[in-house]
Amino acid sequence: MKTVYLIISIILIATLVAVFIISFLINKKTPKPKGCEDLEVTEENCLNCGRFDCKIRDKFIDKENLKWKKYYSQF
C-alpha cells in the first residue's frame, strides 16, 4: 500500500513540475500588449510608483533630495 502512495505522489509532483515548465514556456512566447513594447523606466515613472522596495528605484533616488525625504521618513 505504501508503494501505491509513493507512486501517486511521484506522479503528482511530476505533473506539477510539467505544468509549471509548460506554463513558463508559453508565457515567454506571449507577445507584449500593444503600447507596452517600448516602455522605459524613468524618474517620473518611479515617482508615481508606490513600491519602495524596488531595486530599479534606487538608481533614481537621491536621499538628500527634498522631494524624496517625505517618503523615507515613513520608514
The tally of domains found in the chain comes to 2
Q: What is the pLDDT of residue 20?
A: 98
- 34 in Cβ contact with 42 (< 8 Å): no
Q: What is the pLDDT of residue 26?
A: 95
Assess whether pLDDT exceeds 80 at residue 9.
yes
Distance CA 30, CA 37 (A): 12
Pair 24, 45 in one domain = no
Quote the domain boundaries for residue 9.
1-30
Assess whether pLDDT exceeds 70 at residue 64.
no
Q: What is the pLDDT of residue 55?
A: 72
* pLDDT tens readout for residues 13-57: 999 999 999 999 999 998 888 877 777 777 777 767 767 677 777
Q: What is the pLDDT of residue 19?
A: 98
Pair 54, 74 in one domain = yes
Q: Is residue 35 situated within a structural domain?
A: no
- 52 in Cβ contact with 38 (< 8 Å): no
Pair 1, 26 in one domain = yes
